[in-house]
Chain A
Amino acid sequence: MSTLAAVPIAWLVARAAGLVALGLLTLSVWLGLGMSTRVLGPRRQKALFAWHRTLIWTGLSMIALHAIALLFDPTIHFGLAAVLVPLAAPWHPAAVAAGVVAAWLALMLAVSFRMRKWIGQRGWRRLHYASFVAFVLSVGHALTVGTDLHGVGGRILAAVVLGPTLWLVLLRVLAPTPAPKRRPAAALPSTPSGT
């Protein structure tokens, strides 16, 4: 009983959910870049796109768990405003704000998949550049206030997360995007659902 009471459950869940959310969002960014660079091949674009969307929503659910667990932590004293409003946190306000802004941007991007019909393909692609901002902010948030990412752990995480991302971004910028093959209008596939 006393041993169980000594374990800060909410704090452990908040840390674990934050780490898993970062992992899921990183995978989603890699998948998105992998699709746009065609590193993963041109054939399975529809399936990869579906996984890209699923990973964003799963990552968002883990961000929600991260925030809810912080609300229940008896030590850090975070209120609802602290986890929803940037710079409202009493502890490391700037670093926490980076995480809050990243979460809102991720939510906006996830919702934008469903708004594609209204905002148009070009607008959606422009909006998608916010994913880089969200990614950088979330990594910065993790490295500055992440309890488990100080010292060597943080350097390893930064290398693992940022290395492939930078490589894919460079590939995206430097390599020309392959033009889609033109097909007769009758043979064009229907737009993937919700895309």
Chain B
Amino acid sequence: MRRIWAAVITVWATLAVVAALAWSHQPVSGAPRATPITILVPGKSGGAPHRMRVLLLSAGSPAHSATHSSQTAGGSVTAGTAFVGSPSALPHVATGSS
């Protein structure tokens, strides 16, 4: 009986924690939220400027950026920071990397 009680309480406690964590989870809407912009980079010694495509990443875009702590890690490239290239270059595992 003691073991049954322990198992039942443990299962319910785990389900409650899973529910709480899922509740606090902010669903990621599809692809990482990135805003592409084009900037002009002046050429060397007055040469013709280059066009460069830049992605502005918002915080919390990578996977596992569900919690406050992982958002900090995921948001290491913050809004306003120019990130050249593909967002896949970001660290995939964002949780606990701080």
- A: residues with CB less than 8 A from B are 2-3, 6-8, 11-13, 15-17, 19-20, 23-24, 50-51, 54-55, 57-58, 61-62, 65, 75-77, 91-92, 145-151, 153
Contacts and interface: CB of A to CB of B under 8 A. Distances in A.
A54 B30 CA distance: 44
Interface stretch (B17-25, B35-43, B50-58, B76-84): B17-25
Contacts of A147: 64, 67, 69-70, 95-96
B63 interface: yes
B92 to A, nearest CB: 6
A153 B69 CA distance: 10
Contacts of A6: 27-29
B11 to A, nearest CB: 9
Given A8-B64, A24-B10, A75-B63, A151 B22 contact: no
Contact of A16 (B2, B17, B28): B17
Contact of B25 (A7, A61, A150): A7
B6 A151 contact: no
Interface in B44-96: 63-64, 66-70, 72, 92-93, 95-96
B13 A58 contact: no
Nearest to A18: B17
7 contacts: A6-B27, A16-B14, A20-B10, A58-B6, A92-B96, A147-B95, A150-B98
Given A24-B10, A50-B2, A16 B18 contact: yes
A15 to B, nearest CB: 6
Q: Which 4 A-B pairs have the closest CB atoms?
A: A16-B17, A150-B69, A6-B27, A16-B18
A126 B29 CA distance: 54
A76 B94 CA distance: 9
